[in-house]
Amino acid sequence: VSMTPERFNFYCARSFRQKEAACAALLIRRGVFVFLPIETKWKRAADKRGARESYEVIMFPPYLFLGFPQGREDWNSVMSCRLVSELLCDEQGTPLRANSEQMHRFMARAQNAVTASQRRKAAELLKEGDVVTFTTGAYVGKTITISQIKGKQGQFLTEMFGGKDVPVTFSLEDVE
C-alpha cells in the first residue's frame, strides 16, 4: 500500500482551540498523516505608520484533516491522543470521510501557498535590479524592477503625471 496521500482516505477531527498544531505533531509522531491548513494574514505594524506585518493562522480552528491508507484507518492512535476532542461522525458513529478529490485539490493549493516565514526569507535574498511580481497589495500581478532597497522596503519607478518617473515604496514581502 502506497503511503502517499493520493491513496489515502481523509477524515476530520476536532482538537481543542489553540492546540491544533500540538495535536498535529502528536498524531504525526503516531504515524498519522495530518493536514493542517495555514494561511497568511496581514496587520498594521504598531510601531510604523503604514507598515504591515504578516502572521500565520490556522484556517479552520479547531479542525484538522487526517489521512489513512485505504482500509488501514487507525482510530485507536487518533482517539488515544489527549488533544483530539472528537472525530466528525454520522448518526451511527461512523467517521465521515471527506471527498478525496477535493482534499487533494485543497492540499495542492495550500502547499503552493507561500507562508509568511517563507516570504520573509525570500525577501532577504532580493537585490536592486531584480524583476519581481506583486503577490499582495494594491499592485497584485504587476511586474516591476526593484530600483532601490532599504531594509525591508523596496522602491520602483513608475510613470505618472505626464511621463515623470515617480518612486513607489513597497514591502519586500509583497513580491516574489
Q: Which of 117, 118, 114, 123 is nearest to 153 (CA)?
A: 123
The pLDDT score that the predictor gives to residue 1 is: 33
Give the whole-angstrom CA distance, residue 36 versus residue 132: 30
Residue with cell 500500500: 1
Residue 30 falls in which region: left (phi positive, over 0), alpha (psi -120 to 50) or beta: alpha
Of the candidates 129, 128, 135, the one whose C-alpha atom is nearest the C-alpha of residue 150 is: 128
Higher-confidence residue: 4 or 120? 120
Grid coordinates standing for 139? 499592485
d(CA 113, CA 116) in angstroms, rounded, equals 10
Percentage, residues of the chain above pLDDT 70: 88
Q: Tens of pLDDT along 58-84?
A: 888 999 999 898 888 999 999 999 999
pTM of the model: 0.58
Q: List helix spans (H) across 18-84.
A: 20-29, 75-79
Q: What are the angstrom distances between the C-alpha of 86 and each of 25, 59, 62, 139, 158?
A: 17, 18, 11, 43, 55
Provide the 10 A C-beta neighbour count for residue 121: 11
Closest by CA to 135, choosing from 112, 104, 159, 107, is 112
